Amino acid sequence: MNDASEEAVVQRGGGDNDDRRTYELEETGFLEVPKRWRKFYRVRQGPDDELAPNEVVCPVCKVVIRSYREYRPGDRVYCMPCMSRLVVVERDDGTLEADVVY
């Protein structure tokens, strides 16, 4: 089952020039990070797990990293479980993925 279906879109717009959708994140039970940060990570459910616009997969540890806002190319992401710094890039097919910076 896709966790994106459980998330509700809260509002459209949020900044001065930012028209990104925002999401309400729920606790996922991801125990590998401190409780405060658990809603920002979840385990990937397999190859059929479709990612929401506010989710990318860490290429190092294969954990799904979530955000309040939808991701766009150029966004910087931090993966707490493996301590990797990532940047969001767009693939040729239009989907978003994370590339390791450090």
| DSSP notation for 59-97 | TTT-EEEE-SB---TT-EEEETTTTEEEEEEE-TTS-EE
Give the tens place of pLDDT for each residue, 28-66: 889 999 999 999 999 999 889 899 999 999 999 999 999
Q: What is the pTM of this model?
A: 0.80
- Cβ-based burial of 50 (10 A; exposed 0-12, middle 13-18, buried ≥19): exposed
- CA atoms of 4 and 25, how far apart (whole Å): 9
Domain boundaries, the chain: 3-100
Mean pLDDT of the 5-12 span: 46
Please provide the size of the chain in residues.
Answer: 102
Q: Identify the band that residue 1 occupies on the pLDDT scale cut at 50, 70 and 90.
A: very low
What is the distance between the alpha carbons of residues 102 and 92, in angstroms, rounded to a whole number?
23
